[in-house]
Structure 1
């Protein structure tokens, strides 16, 4: 099975467009056809932080994929912030501006927190939620590791990339990291500027928090939700340990859990095609 994007990769050939919203322009790309899935990206991420093979695999499964840069980051204008409510507002307003109707809301890391807020605030526009390597709201059974706060506040090399998103002790995971890094570098034009790590680090705080996402109203919305939710995680996520989702397994009525072995905070980077296949099976 190929581990590189097709020559005719829909994600790599997608052009950046702009949606004019109140006081800002959001940069976005859309490709594929079918049920729309809107993906909110990770901390320090832009549209180009999504693995092209993961995105192309979603498109091949019959989804219209929409990715975007948050306000003030990447190619978007406006005030920049990592307040999750503001990130969720970006997603909600973009969905409205593009007239997407009911969507699958997805998100990775802090984007997964934003996706949960979208579900809580605007359930009428959400059919399913796809959460990747993120945290549930409320008290945690296991906090993240201090290592993340070191790596997130500096310019990252390949070893940092492995430590953040993969399992450094696994030969297979390291090999997957090498392949993923090549795929992420495949887009060479119309690339979103990187998020300044100095600014991002200032937003982060000094170390792991418990809860990481103190939002009782969102937790109540999830507990009451009839909207199907899937969480895709790695078994050694230094940012948002997957154990916290398993602790809610008996409480969230529509929660599906997929955990990949010997993997970290980027399960869809290590297993791009398998992640897309799990999402497609969940939605079916």
Structure 2
């Protein structure tokens, strides 16, 4: 087992904006969703900001709209930000409905190559962190820095979402929004999250949050289940030398913080930062501070 490189835990002031600051990329005139055609199908994406590229991979049953607009705005001050929908969501439509985490990683690799991104950082949130890990295993030369936010390692030492959390995240109907907020955020942030989440979502003009079909839910459920059983991927992480920043909220009840500790042991060039009182969707709690921490990591020279 590799030693963990710990950074000092951080305690940040919550900074939910509730849509009050209109200086954000999804309000910029002319920002339009683009569609990349690949041999396997299409990928819908947005591209904005200036600087070194960073590719964001979203999570379970999520679309691009789930990114916090102020978080990506902070990143866009120093980076070209690329956000996209995973296959089966919105305009990202690939052939067939059965696919694996390796297929999602291949989609991300195709996006990086076709957009001719030079040494991008790759950030994966939640299930997106699983896809980012697989990408780092399969295509390490495509990534300059790896950022894993509220994610989970492969193999038996992973702690996947509980059955109850899974039912909440995949549910619908009356009260669904409040139930989801209750698992994405700790009690201390819940009132603010319920008031601010919808106003702070990334919602460019002309982009409607797409529905998540039963087929996508089923495919992503299988990805999480198989990742928990993927002992080979856990061994392969030991050979991933890409500099990695792992960010874990201490109040994450979807993917418990010990997942990030296991990840830190598995990756030989990783640093773990624990965010006190951070929930699973902590980019909504701390959009500016989280982005600044990520930006500092990307800017740090590789030894």
Do structure 1's residue 164 and structure 2's residue 183 form an aligned pair? yes
Do structure 1's residue 116 and structure 2's residue 138 form an aligned pair? no
CA distance in 2, matches of 1:185, 1:98: 22
Contact 1:5–1:53 (8 Å) recurs in 2: no
**SS of equivalent residue, structure 1 residue 136:** coil
Contact 1:5–1:52 (8 Å) recurs in 2: no
Contact 1:180–1:270 (8 Å) recurs in 2: no
**SS of equivalent residue, structure 2 residue 211:** coil
Aligned to 1:218: 233
User: Which residue, out of 117, 129, 143, partners 1:100?
Assistant: 117
CA distance in 2, matches of 1:190, 1:249: 36
Contact 1:104–1:127 (8 Å) recurs in 2: yes
The Cα shift of 1:245 comes to: 2.0
Aligned to 2:65: 48
User: Which residue, out of 249, 274, 291, partners 1:276?
Assistant: 291
Q: 1:48 to 1:256 in 2, by over 3 A?
A: same
CA distance in 2, matches of 1:108, 1:72: 18
Aligned to 1:233: 248
CA distance in 2, matches of 1:239, 1:281: 27
Alignment of 1:138-149 (within 5 A): 138-140=155-157, 142-149=159-166
Aligned to 2:87: 71
CA distance in 2, matches of 1:154, 1:38: 28
Residue deviations 1:253-279 (CA, integer Å, cap 9, x gap): 211122222232111122111110110
Q: 1:81 to 1:173 in 2, by over 3 A?
A: farther
Q: 1:251 to 1:219 in 2, by over 3 A?
A: closer
Contact 2:70–2:288 (8 Å) recurs in 1: yes
CA distance in 1, matches of 2:98, 2:20: 32
Range with bigger deviation, 29-38 or 237-246: 237-246
The Cα shift of 1:203 comes to: 3.8
Q: 1:249 to 1:110 in 2, by over 3 A?
A: closer
Alignment of 1:77-96 (within 5 A): 77-79=93-95, 80-81=97-98, 83-96=100-113
The Cα shift of 1:160 comes to: 1.8
User: Which residue, out of 192, 210, 218, partners 1:202?
Assistant: 218
User: Which residue, out of 111, 136, 152, partners 1:135?
Assistant: 152
Range with bigger deviation, 177-186 or 132-141: 177-186
Range with bigger deviation, 242-251 or 267-276: 242-251
**SS of equivalent residue, structure 2 residue 134:** helix
Range with bigger deviation, 123-132 or 256-265: 256-265
CA distance in 2, matches of 1:105, 1:2: 24
What RMSD, in angstroms, separates the aligned Cα atoms of the two structures?
2.5
How many residue pairs match? The answer is 278
Q: Which runs of 5+ in 1 are unaligned?
A: none
Q: TM-score, normalised by structure 2?
A: 0.82
CA distance in 1, matches of 2:20, 2:73: 7
Residue deviations 1:182-230 (CA, integer Å, cap 9, x gap): 212754532241212x334434659x96x84333343233222321111
Q: TM-score, normalised by structure 1?
A: 0.87
**SS of equivalent residue, structure 1 residue 224:** coil
